[in-house]
Amino acid sequence: MKPRILMTRAVFPDVIERLEQYFDVESNQDDHIFSVDELTQKLQGKDGVFTTPSERISAQVIAACPGLKAICNMAVGYNNIDLDAATRAGIMVTNTPEVLNETTADFAWALLLAAARRVTESEHWLRAGKWQKWRYDSFLGADIHGSTLGIIGMGRIGQGIARRSTGFNMRVIYHNRSRLPVEKEAAANHAQYVSKEELLRSADHVVLALPYSAESHHTIGAAELAMMKTSATLVNIARGGIVDDAALVAALRAGRIGAAGLDVFENEPAFDPAFLALSNVVLTPHIASASESTRRAMANCAADNLIAALTGDLPPNILNPDVQSRE
Ligand code: DGY
């Protein structure tokens, strides 16, 4: 008998076909969003689950699914999974690092340029038929070239964002849990390690690229926004919850910072509707990794992990390698 797996959400059909060679697959190509009870019920008798960042695999769900051996997330972030509870239960957990670094770094730049140079705001104005004449002061934005870029979270994606800044002749400062080795700083446009406070006070543009955790919750709140330059841009391509969205709405509304570019939100997809009334924010629906080739690579990476986990190999991207796998 083949091991049984659940796909929690719709995914590329060829990835399902690949998994069907190894497993008895229950897919969800209708993309129905499972309640906690439905998810728990569907996981009964399953050996593995292919998840996305939208499903919360809590300690409660884990405790109710004693047969589960592997949770393979199609994302680099895994704050949707209670890793400690999974580890205690002997369940392997995997993510999809590396394959999305460059695409996500590209998108941070898309948001930064769009927000600082008012691209979407001016396009909405043009589409609304308001363009009657050229004016010297139409949609004046903030320069990117020659400015100071501050990156909070200098992992693989943060370093990719920094590398791209050389063409804009920027100075890069960063804050991270620990300082990078000097050769990595040199490769990241000679990024200079500074305190979070110094970064917020000196940067013209601040990009958030750190993982979500209890420690990084509300890394940017009212106090931090007050330290930033009034012309500064804030970009979040990391996770909702790293920014206090209510505080950001208030800061954008009051002009305490210049603009923001946001791909992730607290409580997404039910994000704070107050953002919609603001013209100085660019909003995208959690698509930083969404290029065709990268999303395929992420899906196949999660599939590789699931196949390895349930066929007796160590999954390439296991997050809890010490787990005592369930028999
Ligand atoms: C990730 O990989 O964590 C992304 O946020 C998913 O798009």
pLDDT greater than 60 at residue 262: yes
User: Distance (Å, rounded) from C-alpha 259 to C-alpha 266?
Assistant: 18
Ligand 1 binding pocket, CB closer than 6 Å: 53, 75-77, 100, 286, 289
157-185 average pLDDT score: 98
How many Å lie between the centroid of ligand 1 and the Cα of residue 27? Answer: 21
Identify the residue whose C-alpha is closest to ligand 1 atom 3.
Answer: 77
Question: Residues 185, 239, 266, 295: which is the catalytic one?
Answer: 239
Task: List pLDDT tens digits, range 228-257.
Answer: 999 999 999 999 999 999 999 999 999 999
pLDDT greater than 60 at residue 263: yes
Identify the residue whose C-alpha is closest to ligand 1 atom 4.
Answer: 75
- For a pocket test of ligand 1, which of 51, 157, 289 has the largest count of ligand atoms closer than 8 A to its C-beta? 289
Q: Is 145 noted as a catalytic residue in this protein?
A: no
User: Distance (Å, rounded) from C-alpha 78 to C-alpha 94?
Assistant: 8
Task: List pLDDT tens digits, range 274-302.
Answer: 999 999 999 999 999 999 999 999 999 99
- CA distances 136 to 105, 133, 139, 140, Å, are 33, 10, 9, 9
Residue 16's pLDDT band, with cuts at 50, 70 and 90, is: very high
Identify the residue whose C-alpha is closest to ligand 1 atom 2.
Answer: 75
pLDDT greater than 70 at residue 7: yes
Of ligand 1's atoms, which has the minimum distance to the CA of residue 264?
Answer: 5
What pTM, to 2 d.p., does this model score? Answer: 0.96
Task: List pLDDT tens digits, range 20-32.
Answer: 999 999 999 999 9
pLDDT, residue 327, reads 56
- E strands along 81-156, which residues? 92-94, 148-152
Residue 326's pLDDT band, with cuts at 50, 70 and 90, is: low
Of ligand 1's atoms, which has the minimum distance to the CA of residue 287?
Answer: 7
Residue 33's pLDDT band, with cuts at 50, 70 and 90, is: very high
pLDDT, residue 325, reads 60
Q: What percentage of residues in the chain have a pLDDT greater than 70?
A: 99
Q: Is 286 noted as a catalytic residue in this protein?
A: yes
Q: Is 32 noted as a catalytic residue in this protein?
A: no
